[in-house]
Chain A
Amino acid sequence: MTTSSQTPRPISANRPGVDAISLSVLWNTLLSIADEMGTALRRTAFSEAVREGDDFSTGIFDGRGRLIAQGNFTPGHLGAMPYVIENVLKFHAPETLRPGDSILLNDSFLGGGHFPDFFLTTPIFRQGRLIAYAVTTAHQVDMGGAAPGSQRVQGITEAYQEGLRILPIRVVREGQFDEDLMRMILGNVRVPAKVRGDLKAQLNANYVCGERLGDMYDVYGEDQMTRTIDAILEHSEAETRAILARLPQGRYEFEDFLDDAGPDTGPIRVFVAVTVDDTGVEIDFTGSGGTVQAALNSYINYTRAYGVFATRCLTEANLPNNEGSFRPIRVKAEEGSFFNPHFPAASGGRAAVQIRIFDCINGAFAKCIPHRAMGAFSHWANPNIGGVDPRSGKPFIMYDMLLGGYGGRATKDGVEAMSPVMNCSNIPVEVIEHNNPVLVERFSLIPDSGGAGKYRGGCGIRKDVKVLAEGAMLTLLGDRHNIAPYGVFGGGPGAVGQSLVISGAETRPYGSKEVVILKHGDVVSLRTSGAGGYGDASEREAAAIQADLADGYVTPAGVRASYWHDVTEKP
């Protein structure tokens, strides 16, 4: 591929050794490699979570372990990666790594905050020298432990109940899986074929990175690449600092609460102080709740990932992800607290926390940059239903994601039904029904659930799933069943969510993080909360209300309740 390629002549060195053109072109290429890794991973993966839900990420690190490029994937993975590679290299010093090695890690403290997230790190060598690391993360659909999907919150008090914990191990040597280690891993999970298939897909993606980076080094040479990487990081940091320097300086606080940490527990305080000063932005969770005795704790890597992500999105400091663009934003939380627990705090269900991290930082920034703030998101639901498929006699795990609406914005209504914070796709109903013994009876928006406002919040989402297996275990994972998503600048809150199980004539409500054993034919009805509004409802234009009525996003009763307009029963 490089036979007739030519090195562009370096010109006009306005930065020592690197011109704007080489910088633009090489940066482009690195980003495209990170995307290409994602394509390979998605296309060869086996689990619905990865292949349909896009619950994975890719990254490229230089030989010194500095993040240089990432793909357009899941922020929680992306933001944790720099710390993960640091931890991997503590166990496997660079000089001990060989070509063809790959290191696997899923530890919640060292990794992405819960066991299902597999981080696979592959050192990349060129002419015998280690030049870079390819890293992929994928959400494995099961890691064993107390419940199918390994995200059970209720009754889990320490990480040892959550399945297999893998400290950094050399799972691949000379390009081949170590079959002894694989036997041990796969012997501990409920769906071994999917776990192996997805890990293989991760390895494929890392190989793609190795090939493409090797080509780049061949064309541009090591010196030029090193200079360019330095320039990318330097440039990203400088630009990020320049953007943050334009923010009004000060300390901005916000408080919100998570519903609970499972049945019979109280709300968890989420408190953030955002400080904007000459050194950048500090996000401080000091004052938030303590570690909980349930699998909900947010390990520091996870807290940092979403803290940095929220800050960059809200302040528009969203340069491509790399160490330089992360550096000016610091995230901290007290040791031993909910947002920075000690191992073995349980954390399988920590995905329920990410949106609240964003919401809370958004609430604080609303006081600093009101035009960028939004109402709080409709929360999401991330249930697992696992059991034995009566059609095949084999275990099944239905991993699902219900993604609701966005809060109202400074100039527009909130977007309906778009992945909030993390960036995943839903799994089509027809795919779910092919792979699991279920019948989905409803998948729809919930009218009147969006918070009222000059700009309305998006609606909640409802999904009703009839389970056609006996004794399946439902692991609920959600929030905002008690504490509604807030509105901003006078905007109303979204409606709270509900988790119901309809068993014959009986309908029972559950908390947002309970575990339920289901009977054949039970219908699980999940209803996420609506998103918060922006601005006072009295300022909403009549035409917008009429349009909402015509489309059924609100009902006449909802309009009377929120907007006080004279509305007849039949619009």
Chain B
Amino acid sequence: MIRIAFDIGGTFTDFVLHDAEKRVIRFGKALTTPRNLEQAVVEGVDAILAEHGGTSADVVSVLHATTIATNAILERKGSRTALLTTEGFRDVLIIGRQKRYDTNNMHLDKPAPLIQRRHILEVAERMDATGNVVVPLDQTGMSAAIEVLRRGDYEAVAISFLHAYANPAHELAARDQIARALPSLAISLSHEVSPKFREYERTNTTVANAYVKPIVDRYLASLGSALQSRKFTANLYIMQSNGGLVTPEIARAFPVRIVESGPAAGVLMAASVGREEGHEHVLTFDMGGTTAKLGAIDDGEPAITQTFEVDGIDNRRYSGLPLNVSAVELVEIGAGGGSIAAAHRSLIKVGPESSGAEPGPICYGKGGTRPTITDANVVLGYLNPDWFCGGAMRLDVAAARAGIEREVAKPLSLSLEDAAWGIHSVANSNMERAMRIVSIERGRDPRRYALVAFGGAGPLHAARLARKLGVPKVIVPIGAGVGSAIGLLTAEAKIDVAMTRILRMEAPIAPEIGKIFSDLQVRAERDIANLNLTGDVRFRRGAYMRYAGQGFEIRVDLPLGAIDDQFVAAAIGAFETTYKRIYGYADSGTPVEAIDWYLTATKPGIGGQGAVGRQLSSAHSTARQGVSTSRRAYFPEAGGYVDTAVIDRYAMAVGQTIIGPALIEEREAMTVVLPGDTATVTGNGHLVIAIGGVT
């Protein structure tokens, strides 16, 4: 009963093997093979199976998170794609929403659309806002469009007609005609990919789906056959942005849903770790080499957003391309270990520019000349220059010091230590801003949350961030370096379906709401039936609601059970409770509208929900030899550089308590424990830091 999970990242592909019977979990890492992704996968899978002494026949499921769709979008290297749209609206995709992402910059550029104007075709047809046909689908125009598609050598076409969410008849008719004429063309329909109003966002989402569809399709096909050639009979499941697994068939139909595949899995890991440690409310903090991603888990469930921007700049609204895709809610900013620090107009500026993996921070000694957060952290004594990445790399402290001196300390007349501390602090303040967005701006009181920190740099900065926001507890999970792959093991199969129908929430509306949810249920069950899973389907209902006349909706969970007058009253009550939580007041008595409706179906059966942490000890029990027991590290509250205990995480006993200041080292990460904080290894193997002694 073995499950294997792998997460393909830009540099590394991470593997986790879980054997439920033997209660063993193993980690592995292999260099990603960009030109032939499945190569690293099969080699890594072979290696981890061999290490475990298992064979492909023992594997019951293979779980996968991938950046393939994201990369195609980021690099604008998708398929040759056309868009067919309503006559008169060719430029919706080019025009976008038109706001500059920086008011004070008149020389910036808009995010480049995924396809050029030359690939956008029009056909006469029109629905009105209530779904009535105003202009029938023009048959002559369709024939002409099909001819252009044929001659243009396209691999994919997106069809997005105005108000198609209200009546999809024309999109369906157009699809049928194109499919008959050009059966090899991959077709994406806006009312299926994103049945919501606001034409630019819906069209962009549909185009993105079309744009990555042939690529994802080919990739999953070749991955499937590569696994088959290794005699795997296990089912393959793919992680979606919403944190749910689906079959390759569904991922191939709606590949835009897997854009945030890896990050979503990381958040699931954090949710699982939170549950193991008794925390239903968790803030997640994933800091890697180029960015930091912050998310939230409420009542044990990752927060889900119905729209986000891909390829944005530093979380600035309108800097990226909006996708109407159900996704784990994440705020991503340009603050990672490689983010570059500079003196800028007598201030310290950190990120979003990154030194990347090449040349990397100065201390890597690979040609980097501009100081980074990692360089500051090594100067401050937080990182062990002799045992970085488990000793795989030595860090050049002298070069880091010289770089910070030259680029930051001298221009600002700061001492070297102050400059390094300044870089560290400014990075923290940038992340604090992002965490405020995730927590306070969205109605979450950080004092009620635990912070789960992972990624290479997360555990180093987490305690400072927690202090800034009053978070009482930081959890550094075991296996933080392969967090996303671990997260895959905790995922369930999940299908989200949604539609736009603007309804005033008044008692007589109940039958209409009933109809909406029965339609959604039919759609969800069709997909669920294709998952090859036994077990009961669980449904969750929700809606995006607002006071009538407002333009911004908030997500409200709706009760299950009969949809009657009481249901409507309960929905209004749930809306007002949520509204009050976010904005501090509710205008009771003001009419309420619901805009988007959604239904989530989950089905267990792929993986256990069990705690993975406590099963780790068998694979990672050997303590490292020859670790120095103390190092000079910088803690301003203790007066500057002080002798700081260095502890090998793998040598810590369950229940052992460390009092800060302390540095806890492991192969994938370094945890900084601040003066006055205490760190303990729990029975699950996780490291828990009580901030300021608060528990």
Q: Indicate whether A and B interact.
A: yes
| B197 contacts A by Cβ under 8 Å | yes
- Give the contacts of A333-348 with B (CB-CB under 8 A): none
Interchain CB contact under 8 A, A19 and B91: no
From A4, A42, A239, A403, name the one whose CB has the most chain B CB atoms within 10 angstroms.
A4
Which residue in B128, B197, B345, B421 is a CB contact (below 8 Å) of A428? B197
Quick one: given A8-B425, A73-B103, A418-B98, are A20 and B436 in contact (CB under 8 Å)?
A: no
Among listed A99-107, A179-187, A312-320, A476-484, interface-contacting one: A312-320
Q: Which residue of B lies closest to A391 (CB)?
A: B130
User: What 0/1 pattern do residues 20 to 48 of A give for CB contact below 8 A with B?
Assistant: 11011101110010001001101111101
User: What 0/1 pattern do residues 63 to 105 of B give for CB contact below 8 A with A?
Assistant: 0000000000000000000000000111110111111101111
CB-CB < 8 A to A421: which residues of B?
A: 106
Quick one: given A28-B433, A552-B117, are A194 and B89 in contact (CB under 8 Å)?
A: no
Interchain CB contact under 8 A, A36 and B436: yes
Interchain CB contact under 8 A, B418 and A12: yes
Interchain CB contact under 8 A, A39 and B441: yes
What is the minimal beta-carbon distance from B156 to any residue of chain A, in angstroms?
A: 19
Among listed A142-150, A442-450, A513-521, interface-contacting one: A442-450
Interchain CB contact under 8 A, B129 and A433: yes
Interchain CB contact under 8 A, A430 and B129: yes
CB-CB < 8 A to A197: which residues of B?
A: 547, 549-550
| A389 contacts B by Cβ under 8 Å | no
Quick one: given A1-B446, A5-B468, A443-B92, are A553 and B117 in contact (CB under 8 Å)?
A: yes
What is the minimal beta-carbon distance from B284 to any residue of chain A, in angstroms?
A: 19
User: What 0/1 pattern do residues 249 to 280 of A give for CB contact below 8 A with B?
Assistant: 00000000000000000000000000000000
The A contact surface, by secondary structure, is mixed
- Give the contacts of B450-489 with A (CB-CB under 8 A): 466-470, 472
Interchain CB contact under 8 A, A318 and B105: yes
CB-CB < 8 A to A415: which residues of B?
A: 108-110
Q: In the complex, A395 Cα to B111 Cα: how many Å?
A: 38
Quick one: given A9-B637, A443-B91, are A32 and B436 in contact (CB under 8 Å)?
A: yes
Interchain CB contact under 8 A, A1 and B422: no
Quick one: given A1-B470, A32-B433, are A25 and B425 in contact (CB under 8 Å)?
A: yes
Quick one: given A1-B470, A4-B472, A418-B110, are A439 and B134 in contact (CB under 8 Å)?
A: yes
What is the minimal beta-carbon distance from A462 to any residue of chain B, in angstroms?
A: 9
What is the minimal beta-carbon distance from A406 to any residue of chain B, in angstroms?
A: 8
Interchain CB contact under 8 A, B636 and A9: yes
Q: In the complex, A142 Cα to B583 Cα: how many Å?
A: 25
Which residue in B421, B551, B583 is a CB contact (below 8 Å) of A40? B583
Bin the interface of chain B by size.
Answer: 35 or more
| B430 contacts A by Cβ under 8 Å | yes
| A383 contacts B by Cβ under 8 Å | no
| A96 contacts B by Cβ under 8 Å | no
| B619 contacts A by Cβ under 8 Å | no
Q: Which residue of A lies closest to B428 (CB)?
A: A25
Interchain CB contact under 8 A, A424 and B345: no
| B426 contacts A by Cβ under 8 Å | yes
Q: Which residue of A lies closest to B88 (CB)?
A: A442
Q: Which residue of B lies closest to A204 (CB)?
A: B583
Which residue in A25, A194, A372, A424 is a CB contact (below 8 Å) of B99? A424
CB-CB < 8 A to B91: which residues of A?
A: 417, 443-445
Among listed B181-189, B360-368, B409-417, interface-contacting one: B409-417
Q: In the complex, A197 Cα to B548 Cα: how many Å?
A: 10
Q: In the complex, A552 Cα to B89 Cα: how many Å?
A: 14
Interchain CB contact under 8 A, B414 and A12: yes
Q: In the complex, A463 Cα to B584 Cα: how many Å?
A: 40
| B286 contacts A by Cβ under 8 Å | no
Q: In the complex, A406 Cα to B108 Cα: how many Å?
A: 11
Interchain CB contact under 8 A, B583 and A25: no
Interchain CB contact under 8 A, A428 and B199: yes
| A224 contacts B by Cβ under 8 Å | no
Q: Which residue of B lies closest to A309 (CB)?
A: B104
Interchain CB contact under 8 A, A25 and B346: no
Which residue in A4, A28, A44 is a CB contact (below 8 Å) of B692? A4
CB-CB < 8 A to A440: which residues of B?
A: 88
What is the minimal beta-carbon distance from A438 to any residue of chain B, in angstroms?
A: 10
CB-CB < 8 A to B35: which residues of A?
A: none
User: What 0/1 pattern do residues 407 to 437 of A give for CB contact below 8 A with B?
Assistant: 0010010011111010111101111011000
Which residue in B99, B116, B316, B694 is a CB contact (below 8 Å) of A3? B694
From A39, A73, A423, A433, name the one whose CB has the most chain B CB atoms within 10 angstroms.
A423
| A396 contacts B by Cβ under 8 Å | no
Quick one: given A54-B99, A419-B99, A429-B162, are A21 and B421 in contact (CB under 8 Å)?
A: yes
CB-CB < 8 A to A72: which residues of B?
A: 102-104, 316
Quick one: given A1-B447, A2-B470, A425-B99, are A417 and B94 in contact (CB under 8 Å)?
A: yes
Interchain CB contact under 8 A, B418 and A11: yes
Q: In the complex, A309 Cα to B104 Cα: how many Å?
A: 8
Interchain CB contact under 8 A, A8 and B117: no
Q: Which residue of A lies closest to B201 (CB)?
A: A428
| B691 contacts A by Cβ under 8 Å | yes
CB-CB < 8 A to A444: which residues of B?
A: 88-91
Interchain CB contact under 8 A, B470 and A443: no
Quick one: given A24-B422, A428-B198, are A551 and B92 in contact (CB under 8 Å)?
A: no
Which residue in A52, A74, A374, A429 is a CB contact (below 8 Å) of B199? A429
User: What 0/1 pattern do residues 148 to 192 of A give for CB contact below 8 A with B?
Assistant: 000000000000000000000000000000000000000000000
Interchain CB contact under 8 A, B94 and A20: no
| B348 contacts A by Cβ under 8 Å | yes
CB-CB < 8 A to B430: which residues of A?
A: 28
Interchain CB contact under 8 A, A430 and B469: no
25 A–B contacts, CB within 8 A, in A order:
A2-B470, A3-B447, A4-B694, A6-B637, A14-B412, A19-B418, A29-B429, A42-B552, A45-B551, A46-B547, A412-B109, A415-B108, A415-B110, A417-B95, A423-B100, A429-B162, A429-B199, A430-B199, A431-B551, A439-B134, A440-B88, A443-B89, A461-B95, A551-B118, A552-B117
Q: Which 9 A-B pairs have the closest CB atoms?
A: A51-B551, A442-B88, A551-B117, A4-B692, A43-B552, A318-B104, A417-B95, A21-B422, A433-B129
Extra pairs beyond A4-B470, A418-B99 (15, CB < 8 Å): A20-B346, A24-B349, A29-B433, A36-B436, A40-B583, A72-B102, A197-B547, A204-B585, A235-B345, A417-B96, A419-B100, A433-B129, A440-B88, A442-B88, A552-B117
